C-alpha cells in the first residue's frame, strides 16, 4: 500500500535530489526519497543487529571464567614463548 505525502526539503537537499534525477540516476524525486529511506532503514537494521550481536558476545564473555592479571600475563608469556620457539625452530 502506498500513502501519498508531501514533504519540504532544504534547498541543498532538493538540489542534490534534482542532481540525481537530471542525469537519470533516479527516475524521479520520489524514487530518490524512497531509495534514501530504504537505505536508512537497512542501515539502522544492520546497526541494531550489530549491537545485539555485541551484547550477546559480551554476555557470553561475562559468564566465562576470568583470570587474575598475574595468571593472564603468565599464560600469555608461555604462549608467546612457545610460538617464538616454534618460529625459530622452523
Structural domain includes residue 78 = yes
pLDDT tens, residue by residue, 5-20: 999 999 999 999 999 9
Q: Band of the pLDDT at 26, cuts 50, 70, 90?
A: very high
Question: Which domain does 81 fall in, by range?
Answer: 11-89
pLDDT of residue 65: 81
d(CA 36, CA 56): 30
* CA 22 from centroid of its chain's CA atoms: 32
Structural domain includes residue 6 = no
Structural domain includes residue 2 = no
- pTM, to two decimals: 0.63
* Total domains present in the chain: 1
CB 75 within 8 A of CB 67: yes
pLDDT of residue 87: 81
pLDDT tens, residue by residue, 30-81: 999 999 999 999 999 999 999 999 999 999 888 888 888 999 999 999 999 9
**Cβ partners under 8 Å of residue 86, min gap 6:** none
Amino acid at each position: 500500500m502506498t500513502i501519498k505525502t508531501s514533504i519540504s526539503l532544504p534547498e541543498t537537499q532538493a538540489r542534490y535530489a534534482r542532481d540525481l534525477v537530471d542525469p537519470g540516476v533516479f527516475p524521479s524525486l520520489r524514487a530518490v526519497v524512497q531509495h534514501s529511506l530504504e537505505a536508512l532503514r537497512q542501515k539502522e537494521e544492520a546497526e541494531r543487529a550489530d549491537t545485539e550481536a555485541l551484547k550477546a558476545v559480551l554476555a557470553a564473555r561475562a559468564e566465562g571464567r576470568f583470570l587474575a592479571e598475574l595468571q593472564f600475563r603468565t599464560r600469555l608469556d608461555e604462549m608467546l614463548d612457545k610460538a617464538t620457539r616454534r618460529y625459530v625452530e622452523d
